[in-house]
Amino acid sequence: MTLNELIGELQLPISEQEQKEGVGRLSNQVNQSSSYDSIDSYLILLSDDIEDYFHSGKINRALEFAITTLLEDTSASAIGLDGKGYCDVVNHLQKGGKHDWRGLNPKETLRLLSRATFIHDLLAREHLSASQISRLLFSLESSLYVPYKAIQVIAAHFELLPSLSVGDFENVIHPKDEIYSNQHFTDTSADESCEIAGELASPWLDGDSISSDLRLLIKQGEGTILTSENASGWPYLQMLHWCMLPLDRYDHPASFLYEFSPRGALGEAVFAQYHVATGNAVLNNAKAVSQLDDQWARNRSGVSAHALVRILHMVESLPFHARRSVAAIIRAWLTRIIELTDRDLTLINETLSFAQIIRLCGFIQHDESNTQGVIEQRIVDALSVLAFQHEGWIPRGLGDSVNASNFSRHKLGDVEFANIDKRAAIALEAHGGIVSPAYVRGHQQSLARIVQQRLEESWANLDDPAKWSVRVIFVSHGSTGGLPENEIIHEVPISYEYWDYSKLVDGAIDHSTEELALSAFRKYFVQALNRDVVPQRIRNKASQILNDSAVSI
């Protein structure tokens, strides 16, 4: 057997050209070395060492000399895998863990290390987790089935070990999730949050399926886990949270539980966000499994386990960037569910004065509330009732959360007043900033779907579409130029108006009575904000405005 053929048995992570150059370099060094009589004698020693390695896993001197020489000036050595490093990794892979994983046999070790440069690229460039790399290698080569911990050995050598710390969670990921949650789930109920999460995920997945399974996760008897003293449903949410966490950083299979150590400090930090005593959700519910799959779910009672597995399978089926986006949506949804368990509420005093209403209206004419539009929306609710809810005009959307879907609520705007006899509808869109063409275009796109929906539900049966009209009023702190004034959607004439808050206030307060104003603001502003789905910080801000005093926000 030639030297090149012997070296081929080692399956070193080098190219064919690098091996050819390495064999030449090795031959020269053997001929110049005083340790070996000749290249032929070295071939015999190397052959014996290779045979011994496959039997015992031990790397003897002639084999170590060959490995070290062959890896010099190669793509492997350029990423830190020189002869010594290679031999160290071989020993570690064969040794395995103390209790948690069996070491690889010599053939498995060489086969895995033949992919070392590929593994390095997957870690450094593609940000795959060890579990994902293990799955990928098996899909490419069915004989290469190794535990993720073997991949971690190689990743640690390259100083590319995928990991998450408590600091990563508390200082980066969780604050980001809170911001996302405040933007999309500001004042939503648990059920509304499920619906919105599905809508947000719909560019990548079947949104209805996600919404349905999220609802199953929070279902408890006839109600939800939020209103039940039984904590049995919470661990499934905690496990979902844990499974979504690594996806912020790594291309990781969502159903794989243990790579990032749920038993450690990070798991404790994540599960501590939940205001229920459940212990370690992963340890208590999936101690003997490494992956949440259908077999695991079949051994659990109820529907929650099956819903959890379906969600994980849907997320896992996506490419990494889409998977990361959906995981962020789910973590934001979980953050909202956790927030809804906070029952320590300080309510706004329902005993309003007319002077407080004037103060509130004066504030909103000049300032934004910085409450993700919640205070603006509740003010518009109250003012629109005073301005537009006259005889024959039926409202829709009063009290809806700011992120409620107009399409799913079958309404033409945040608030709608429709008059069947007049074949007319008025839709108001509350905005906390400046209305721009891009903002209006987004509304026009959704409005087209809703007009079609309304025609199919009733309008087309009552009259010709052209006989109906929709008046859309954008209420904001100002607007830019270049905004549309009218258009035809599905034959229905649409007009667009752009009001500042002063115009709406004038149209409501000035043409109402103090009694009517107090009644409207008590119901649609104070009582709406006192619902337990509204974050306390928003009530604090409203109280500050109403009372003109410094209230902690």
Query: For residues 237 and 220, is the Cβ–Cβ distance under 8 A?
Result: no
Which amino acid type is present at position 130? A
Residue closest to 365 by CA, chosen among 537, 497, 504, 480 = 504
For the chain, state the CA radius of gyration. Answer: 33
DSSP 348: P
pLDDT for 228: 67
226 near 251, Cβ under 8 Å?
A: no
What is the per-residue DSSP string for 349-361? PS---HHHHHHHH
The candidate with the shortest Cα–Cα distance to 147, out of 118, 114, 120, 112, is: 112
Check residue 99 and give its pLDDT. Answer: 79
Strand-pair category, 469-476 with 492-500 = parallel
Integer Cα distance of 255 and 239 in angstroms: 10
Give me the count of residues in the chain.
553
- Which residues have a Cβ under 8 Å from the Cβ of 81 and sit 6 or more positions away? 13, 71, 89, 116, 117, 120, 157, 158
| Separation between Cα atoms, residue 27 and residue 4, nearest integer Å | 10
Give the DSSP letter of residue 372: T
Instruction: Give Cα 453 to chain centroid, integer Å.
Output: 31
Q: What is the pLDDT of residue 235?
A: 92
Q: What contacts 215, CB < 8 A, 6 or more positions away?
A: 191, 194
Residue 352: other Cβ atoms inside 10 A? 18
Sequence-distant (6+) residues with CB within 8 A of 1 are: 43, 47
Report which residue type is found at 163.
S
pLDDT of amino acid 550: 39
DSSP 220: E
Task: Return phi, psi of residue 364, to 5°.
Answer: -70, -20
Q: 374-388 and 354-366 helices cross at what angle (nearest 10)?
A: 120
Distances (CA, A) of 283 to 224, 261, 513: 24, 10, 62
Mean pLDDT score of the chain: 93
What secondary structure letter does DSSP report for 489?
E
Provide the CA 239 distance to its chain's centre, in angstroms. 14
So what's the pLDDT on residue 37?
81
pLDDT of residue 552: 35
Which residue type sits at 198?
A: G
Tell me which residue of 384, 208, 448 sits closest to 397, measured CA to CA: 384
| Residue 122 token pair | 């997957």
Segments of the chain with pLDDT less than 70: 228-229, 549-553
- Main-chain phi, psi angles of 165, to 5 degrees: -110, 170
* SS3 category, 471: strand
**What is the 3-state secondary structure of 72-105?**
CCCHHHHCCCCHHHHHHHHHHHHHCCCCCCCCCC
Q: Which residue, 311, 308, 197, 173, is CA-closest to 247? A: 173
Instruction: Extract the tokens encoding 299.
Output: 């051994």
Largest Cα–Cα distance of the chain, in whole Å?
A: 111
Q: How far is CA 278 from CA 139, 270, 434, in A?
A: 37, 12, 46
CA atoms of 201 and 241, how far apart (whole Å): 16
The secondary structure of residue 479, as a DSSP letter, is B
Query: How far apart, in whole angstroms, are the C-alpha atoms of residue 19 and residue 11?
Result: 10
pTM: 0.88
The per-residue pLDDT for 317 is 96
Given a contact cutoff of 8 angstroms between Cβ atoms, the answer to whether 80 and 160 are in contact is: no
Q: What is the rounded distance in angstroms from the CA atom of residue 259 to the CA atom of residue 394?
A: 56
Q: How many CA atoms lie less than 13 Å away from 536 in the CB half-sphere?
A: 12
User: 305 with 219: CB under 8 angstroms?
Assistant: no
